[in-house]
Amino acid sequence: MRAAVVQLNSNSDVGSNLERAEALVKAAAGDGAELIVLPEKWALLGPGDVIAREAEPLDGKIVTATRGWANDLGVHLCAGSVPEDPADGGKPYNTSVLIDPSGEITATYRKLHMFDVEVEGTVYRESEYERAGDDLVTATAGGLELGMTVCYDLRFPELFRILALRGATAFTVPAAFTAVTGRAHWELLLRARAVENAAFVIAAGQVGTSEPHYDSWGQSMIVDPWGRILAQLDDDGEGYACADLDLAELERVRESLPALANRRGDAYEWPVEAKA
């Protein structure tokens, strides 16, 4: 399967973001991509109150547009993450949507881990305007079983391990990693998650600055089960990158270094919860 990551410098102008995303999705499909992954908050990246105000149900204009692209192009499209307005009227979810080549939604994953951190004096409090999901999600896309994640989830290896044990052969990681943490950890964590689980990692990131204080790292990439970077964008702007995913190579890695099969589940005891 040929996969692609799309890198964007999104903002709070939904119309402009949709236009640029569509152009890059079409370009990636024209380059032979069968699975295309958009970044986190690709359609709307801005202050928390704006995201909360502009959130839509999954039958809104944002997801409807991506369903049309997938259908027209005949591709699997992971619509990164979008602000989903829930039926109960509460805080929106940060939701990743997987769409099949007929334009049907085949899976939705709501980001589990809220980015409530302080990085070099900049405070991020996603939970102030968004709510966390509760469910782990895998879904089929062509010859792949995708484990769906979003951005900060990358720092929680137990999530990726459980998805792998549930059959995931690739992980989608739409993200808006900060430039500070991205410079230090982005590539390191992506390659680690690939090697630990002998799986492909398809990571599409935001790049550049956006209101109110976003400075995103970019460096979108596709990593193979041996930890090799198959395709990568730099940090100087929007674009896409494609790579062919060799499913036979995945099987070779899992057979020659069967870490998943060699686990000792009977010997592990979950530790006491860490204190915040």
Is 24 part of any domain?
yes
Question: What is the residue range of 65's domain?
Answer: 2-259
Is 20 part of any domain?
yes
Please tell me the predicted confidence (pLDDT) of residue 274: 75
Using CB atoms within 10 A of its CB, is residue 98 exposed (0-12), middle (13-18) or buried (19+)? buried
Query: Which among 41, 56, 126, 151 is annotated as catalytic?
Result: 151
Annotated catalytic residue 40: yes
Q: How far apart are CA 62 and CA 66, in angstroms?
A: 7
Query: Which among 56, 78, 84, 111 is annotated as catalytic?
Result: 111
Q: Using 50, 70 and 90 to split pLDDT, how confident is the model at 251?
A: very high
Is 266 part of any domain?
no
Whether the per-residue pLDDT at 207 is higher than 70: the answer is yes
Mean pLDDT of the residues in the chain: 96
- Residue 165's region, left for phi above 0, alpha for psi from -120 to 50, else beta, is alpha
Query: Which among 40, 84, 126, 238 is annotated as catalytic?
Result: 40
Please tell me the predicted confidence (pLDDT) of residue 276: 64
The pTM for the full model equals: 0.97
Is 119 part of any domain?
yes
pLDDT tens, 92-117?
Answer: 999 999 999 999 999 999 999 999 99
pLDDT tens, 174-195?
Answer: 999 999 999 999 999 999 999 9
Is 274 part of any domain?
no
pLDDT tens, 138-174?
Answer: 999 999 999 999 999 999 999 999 999 999 999 999 9
Strands 35-37 and 76-78: parallel
Q: How far apart are CA 167 and CA 140, in angstroms?
A: 10
Is 164 part of any domain?
yes
Q: Where are the alpha helices (DSSP H) in the chain?
A: 14-30, 48-54, 61-73, 157-165, 179-181, 187-197, 247-256
Q: Can you give the CATH number for the domain in which 9 is found?
A: 3.60.110.10
pLDDT tens, 208-226?
Answer: 999 998 999 999 999 999 9
pLDDT tens, 3-55?
Answer: 999 999 999 999 999 999 999 999 999 999 999 999 999 999 999 999 999 99
Is 270 part of any domain?
no
Is 82 part of any domain?
yes
Concatenated DSSP letters for 224-273?
Answer: -TTS-EEEE--SSS-EEEEEE--HHHHHHHHHHS-TTTT--GGG--PPPP
Q: How far apart are CA 161 and CA 266, in angstroms?
A: 16
Q: Using 50, 70 and 90 to split pLDDT, how confident is the model at 235?
A: confident
How many domains, the chain?
1
